[in-house]
Amino acid sequence: MRYPIFPPLLLLAWVSVACSGGTQKGPGTMVPEDPFEDPAFTCGEWAKVACVERVTSSCLAESTEACVETQSAFCLSLIPADYDPSTAEACIAAVEKAYADARLTPAEVAVVLDGDGACEFIEQTAAMEGGRCDEDTDCNGSLRCKIPTGELTGVCIVADVVGGGLRCTESNQICDVGFYCNGMNCIARQNPGESCSPDVPCLEDLACEGLPGERVCISRGRLGATCTFDADCLSTICQKAAGANTGLCANEIILSGTEPICENLR
């Protein structure tokens, strides 16, 4: 059998492409095997699915191109130093779903504004016993996240749930719902109108508001209640017009020209 003879220059070009680990698109243009390895590409795709016509018209964007440029830059601001592209496609799908109706639920806000879930762009591994955590969902299996009173983070443990009034001095003990550990015993959390602090928390559905030393527990607002912060609302959404100090508790954000989120969408 006779084998084809390649001209030297063509053979050299073929060897260069074959050994590069990428694919060639046109003369001298190389792209990575997985384009999502490039944060700029990922954020470009994010921006495209965010800046659909329904969103750009609701946010009064000058053009789709302007929205894509602004939203891509916002996405890049969420990319961590240890960027992991393995969740990028799932993230793009989540962003597309969130913006499809130009309305955002609390869970969707967490994705598109805070970069939560698949859009954290970091290796998604559940912490084992002793690992750092912010909440129970950070821990593997049935492990619980024990956060010391007054702290923001804790560790994953095999928990022994302790009832009100009982001792909670062991490292694996967590107080039941409605109670907190004061270092010795499980004490009832504070009710509406009672004083509170990082060390003396309110009941789980209440907010601790006020100046340091003067804080009290208040009920989180239901739909339509006046609010200043997202934490003031049961829904965790305080919808305010751009520049306004107060707003109303809502169960979703409806994109409009006065919605602050739209600043990154036009």
Place of tokens 């384009």: 35
Domain that holds residue 203: 192-218
In a domain, 265, yes or no: no
Per-residue tokens: 39: 């944060």
In a domain, 175, yes or no: no
Give the pairing type, strands 173-175 and 179-181. Answer: unpaired
In a domain, 234, yes or no: no
CB atoms within 10 A of CB 33: 9
Report the C-alpha gap between 4 and 14 in whole angstroms. Answer: 14
In a domain, 253, yes or no: no
pLDDT, tens digit (0-9, with 9 covering 90-100), for 14-67: 334 334 445 444 555 555 588 999 999 999 999 999 999 999 999 999 999 999
pLDDT, tens digit (0-9, with 9 covering 90-100), for 66-85: 999 999 999 999 999 889 99
Query: Is 118 in the same domain as 196?
Result: no
Q: How many domains in the chain?
A: 2
Query: Rg of the Cα trace of the chain?
Result: 25
In a domain, 171, yes or no: no
In a domain, 6, yes or no: no
What are the phi and psi torsion angles at 257 (to 5°)? -65, -20
Q: What is the pLDDT of residue 153?
A: 87
In a domain, 247, yes or no: no
Pick from 98, 156, 165: which is nearest to 129 by CA?
A: 156
Of 124, 143, 160, at which residue does a domain stop?
124
pLDDT, tens digit (0-9, with 9 covering 90-100), for 158-202: 999 999 999 999 989 999 999 999 999 999 999 999 999 989 999
In a domain, 149, yes or no: no
pTM: 0.66
CB contact at 8 A, 66 and 266: yes
